[in-house]
Amino acid sequence: MNAHNNNPEMYIPTYDDVLAAHERIKPYIHRTPVLTSNFMNELTGADLYFKCENFQKAGAFKVRGASNAVFGLTEEQAEKGVASHSSGNHALSLSYAAGRRGISATVVMPKTAPDAKKAAVRGYGGTVLECEPSTAAREAMLEEVVANTGADFVHPYNDHRVIAGQGTCSKELHEDVGPLDAVVAPIGGGGMISGTCLTMSAISPDTKIYAAEPEQADDVYRSFHAGHIIEDDAPQTVADGLKVSMRPRTWHFVSNYVTDVLLASEQEIIDAMYLTWQRMKIVIEPSCAVPLATIIKNKEVFAGKRVGVVLTGGNVDLKKLPWMNA
């Protein structure tokens, strides 16, 4: 794959932006641990290094990008607050970061989003505006918020500040465990994968980057093979963080740096999630079980290799676990 960025107006962040982001956000994020598991290594034949962003502030890696955006604002901009649309971890993360800076955050959320998520956003001091559950509705309402308040729009992933922030995750991983043969991360809109590509291409260019995606939300897989962005139309998958589609900034990284896109079925994702809880004793959300599912499914790709696995988050409804429905 060798697509290129043809839009001169689209700023593509550099590794210097990642370095600056890391200094900026350090006081507000955890340096999350890297776990290993003999069981998982024996199962897969690879040496796996799990970067535990499920232990991150607000329960997900998204707080890295959100904090970088929020703490990079000038005082003047900051006074007007920040805004975004999200039904998930970006909403929590942006509210958390804004709360730490003491500025307002407004998040447009579909009225179908779980009450627990809305309550968590409010718990961090954010304001929730409910909209109809469609992309058009959420974008229209967000535009209105920005027009009325002058708030800075922090897109969940198509934002250079957010991508640079997410790039701090694989920087820490590399610092803690040394050079890796591969890193596998889940892909939805592509923020984490883009940050990973950005960092690894600068500090460890031999490390291959694999994007792990649900079969039932395989827009990245199809885009990757078509050579242009293909959007999914409301995919249904247990990996609820991976339903969104790429945008130009993340497509830039995916098309230029990703080695392959690997798919996993719903059952494979649930099995990998269950296995992680059972054997590693950590709570991860379905989205971040997709990498392990693809590693188990493609053992020949990873056997004998040192492989980083990004566990992106741990925000899950403990009363509705996917294996309860099986």
Least gap, CB of 320 to its own copies (angstroms): 10
Least gap, CB of 296 to its own copies (angstroms): 18
Half-sphere exposure for 102 (CA within 13 Å, toward CB): 1
**Integer-rounded Cα radius of gyration of the chain:** 18
Quick one: which of 132, 134, 228, 323 contacts its own copies (CB under 8 A)? 323
In Å, how far are 8, 184, 280, 325 from 33, measured between CA atoms? 38, 17, 13, 32
Considering beta carbons, is residue 59 or 291 the nearer one to its own copies? 59
Quick one: which of 44, 54, 106, 194 contacts its own copies (CB under 8 A)? 54
Amino acid at site 56: Q
Of 145-153, 230-238, 260-268, 281-289: span binding its own copies (CB under 8 A): 281-289
Rounded to the nearest 10 degrees, what angle do helices 248-257 and 191-203 cross at?
50
| Nearest CA-CA partner of 40 in 201, 275, 249, 205 | 275
Report if residue 277 touches its own copies, rule: CB under 8 A: yes
Report if residue 324 touches its own copies, rule: CB under 8 A: yes
Helix (H) / strand (E) containing 90:
helix 89-101
CB neighbour list of residue 220: distance below 8 Å, 6 or more residues apart: 187, 190, 211, 213, 246, 254, 261
Please give the DSSP secondary-structure letter assigned to residue 9: T
Least gap, CB of 119 to its own copies (angstroms): 12
Report if residue 281 touches its own copies, rule: CB under 8 A: yes
Distance between start and end Cα atoms, the chain: 38
Least gap, CB of 55 to its own copies (angstroms): 6
CB neighbour list of residue 313: distance below 8 Å, 6 or more residues apart: 53, 54, 56, 59, 60, 61, 62, 89, 241, 284, 285, 287, 288
Q: Taking a C-beta distance cutoff of 8 angstroms, is the pair 316, 283 a contact?
A: yes
Report if residue 274 touches its own copies, rule: CB under 8 A: yes
Quick one: which of 59, 126, 156, 165 contacts its own copies (CB under 8 A)? 59
Considering beta carbons, is residue 33 or 248 the nearer one to its own copies? 33
Q: Where would I find the beta strands (DSSP E) of 71-122?
A: 82-85, 105-110
Least gap, CB of 318 to its own copies (angstroms): 6
Of 124-132, 156-164, 279-287, 296-304: span binding its own copies (CB under 8 A): 279-287
Cα–Cα distance for residue pair 152/65, rounded to 1 Å: 14
Interaction mask 282-321, its own copies, x per CB under 8 A: xxx-----------------------------x---xx-x
Considering beta carbons, is residue 6 or 278 the nearer one to its own copies? 278
Least gap, CB of 40 to its own copies (angstroms): 13
Of 16-24, 42-50, 249-257, 278-286: span binding its own copies (CB under 8 A): 278-286
Considering beta carbons, is residue 11 or 323 the nearer one to its own copies? 323
Report if residue 19 touches its own copies, rule: CB under 8 A: no
Residues near its own copies (CB under 8 A), total: 19
Cα–Cα distance for residue pair 39/222, rounded to 1 Å: 33
Q: List residues binding its own copies (CB under 8 A).
A: 33, 35, 54-55, 59, 274, 277-278, 280-284, 314, 318-319, 321, 323-324
